[in-house]
Structure 1
């Protein structure tokens, strides 16, 4: 199975934490008010988990940082 990667500007992060469950809980709260697709991502293993809204995704490597997708919601 191949890993999926996405580009986001780190300044657009909704939440981040070293604890996956904390970010997942933030995602559930955010999704209740914003019915967009969400991504829980990580830069690399051992780095914090970060929550982004799909509407903030970019295709330009100059505008974004590469993250590994952990979970799509």
Structure 2
């Protein structure tokens, strides 16, 4: 089962249409920012395929947050 998470789209480190490019960028970011924690590559649930990169600790828990958007976790980079 896919994990659905909420993020504020404005907190995205990057947005990509190519999954492999998103993974590569997330790995580079993680290598350069070891103290940042887990990096997630997530896919938007609506519209054409789009992948964003977020830090795991930026995940929102409150479903009533107006600025949030639902994403499906594609890959977690530790």
How far apart, CA to CA, are the structure 1 residues paired with 2:73 and 2:19?
13
How far apart, CA to CA, are the structure 1 residues paired with 2:15 and 2:9?
10
Are residues 1:72 and 2:71 paired? no
Structure 1: gaps spanning 5 or more residues: none
Q: CA deviation at 1:55?
A: 1.9
Task: Give me the CA root mean square deviation.
Answer: 1.5
Q: CA deviation at 1:17?
A: 0.9
How far apart, CA to CA, are the structure 2 residues paired with 1:72 and 1:50?
12
Runs of 4 or more above 2 Å deviation = 44-47
- Identify the residue that residue 5 of structure 2 maps to in structure 1: 6
Task: Provide Cα deviations, 1:24-65, integer angstroms capped at 9, x if missing partner.
Answer: 111011101222101111112732111101121111221421
Are residues 1:59 and 2:64 paired? no
Structure 2: gaps spanning 5 or more residues: none
How many equivalent pairs are there?
Answer: 72
